[in-house]
Amino acid sequence: MPIVPQGLYDRLVAVRRELHRYPELSWQEARTAGVIAKFLHSLDIQHRTNVAGHGVVAEIPGASKVPCVVLRADTDALPIQEETGLEFASVHNGIMHACGHDGHTTMLLGAAVLLSQEKDLPAPVRLIFQPAEEKGTGAMAMIKEGVLNGAGLIFGGHLDRHYHPGTIVVSEGPVNASSDNFSIEIIGQGAHGARPHESIDAVVVGSLMIMALQTIVSREIDPARPSVVSVGQFHAGTAPNVIAGQARLEGTVRAQDPSVRQQLLSSVRRIAESIAQLHGAKIHIAVTEGTPPLINQPDLASIARRAAIEAVGETNVLPLKTANMGAEDFSYYLEKIPGAYVRFGSQVPGREGYPAHSSKFDFDEEALAVGAAYYAAVAKIAGRQLRQQAATT
C-alpha cells in the first residue's frame, strides 16, 4: 500500500508515465517544464518558469523571517534508445529517462501536494526543478539565477535499483564522487608501416600511457579511499600500413575525497608527460574539472535520517552499501549551503541487472510515494530547525 493517499499515488504514477513517454535532453526540457508548471498551477502554488533555461522554481509559504528549505529534483533525460518494452516507453527515438529523473520530478510534485495542505509550515519551502543534471551544468546555472537566495538548507535524492522499494538510504560522508575529464593529444612522427624506425609511433605511446594510468589507483592511492581513472576513448591512425603520427586519449577521473581528486589529476599529468618524453613525443594535456564530491555532513545526515524514519519507519532506513563513484551536480548546492542527499530504493524484481543509464532501466513506482513522503517530512523537520535558529539570533 502506498504511504500517501491512494488518489495522490495514482496521480503521481500518471504524471511519471507522461514524463517518461516524452523525455527531453539536457537544456531542452520545455515540455517537461510545462507539465511541472501545470501541476503546480493546479495547486495554486506560486512558481517561476524559464529559470536557467527550462528550470522551474516554486515557493510554498511558511513562517516569516525564517530561511527557506530547498528541495531539488532534476528533469532531463539521456541520449539512449529505450528497450524496456513498457507500455509508456519513450516516443522519442534515441532519448529516454534512463536515470530516473522522471521519478525525481514526480516525487517533488507529490511533496508539493502534501506541503500545500499544511496550515503552518515552520519555514518557507522552495522547490527546484533543475535542468541539465546529466551535463553536470544545470545546478551551477540555477545557482547563478539566485535559486539559493534566502535559503537555509537543501535536500535532494536519487532512485537506486540496488535497494528494495520502500527503503531510503541515508549515510554520512561521501555519497557521490567528483567527476573530472582529461584529454591527451600525442604528437609523434608518422611513417610507413614497413619502416617503423623512422617514426615516433603515437599508437604505441598512447597504449603505454593507457596501461600506466591504470597503476595510479592500484599503486598510488590508499585502497581505503575509492577512486577511478578510466580511459574511454583512443583515436589514432588512418590506414593499416601507416604508423600514426598523432593520437588522442580521453578519460575520466573520479574520487570521493578532494585531496585524492587533486592527487589523481596530478598523477595523470606526470605519467603522460614522462611517457611522452621517454619516447620522444610531444603532448598537450587538457583537464576539464567537473562536479566536486557530494559529501553529507553528520548533522545534516541526521536531519535526513529523521525524515526518512518518519516516512518509511526505522527498519527501512539503510546505510549506503558500497562506494558510489557516480557524479551528481547537487554537490554544487552543498558548496553554497548545508544539506543532504539520500537514495530511494527502487529495485524492480527481475530487472535488477539493468543499471541507470541502461536502455532497459526502470524503477518500482512505489518509490514515488516514498520520495514524496520523505521530502514533505524533511521540509518540516529542517524547517523547525531553521525556525529555532532564527529565534535565537
Which positions of the chain have pLDDT values less than 50? 1
The Cα 52–Cα 147 span in angstroms is: 10
The Cα 66–Cα 60 span in angstroms is: 13
Residue ranges of domains in the chain, CATH in brackets: 6-175+292-391 (3.40.630.10), 180-288 (3.30.70.360)
| Nearest C-alpha neighbor of 368 from the set 165, 175, 169 | 165
Q: Where are the alpha helices (DSSP H) in the chain?
A: 6-21, 30-42, 101-116, 138-144, 202-220, 258-278, 298-312, 330-334, 366-391
pLDDT recorded at residue 116: 97
What are the phi and psi torsion angles at 85 (to 5°)? 75, 10
- Quick one: 350 exposed, middle or buried, by C-beta within 10 A (0-12, 13-18, 19+)? exposed
Of the CA atoms within 13 Å of residue 71, those in its CB half-sphere come to: 33
Encoded amino acid at 40, one letter: L
pLDDT recorded at residue 350: 77
- In this structure, are strands 68-74 and 151-160 parallel, antiparallel, or unpaired? parallel
Q: Which residue has the cell 507529490?
A: 110
Q: How far is CA 240 from the centre of its chain?
A: 41
pLDDT over 90 percentage in the chain: 96
- In this structure, are strands 317-318 and 168-169 parallel, antiparallel, or unpaired? parallel
Grid coordinates representing 133 are 543534471
pLDDT recorded at residue 1: 44
Grid coordinates representing 40 are 503546480
- The secondary structure of 108-144 as a DSSP string is HHHHHHHHHT-SS-SS-EEEEEES-TTTT-HHHHHHH
pLDDT recorded at residue 2: 60
Q: Are 306 and 374 in contact (CB under 8 A)?
A: no
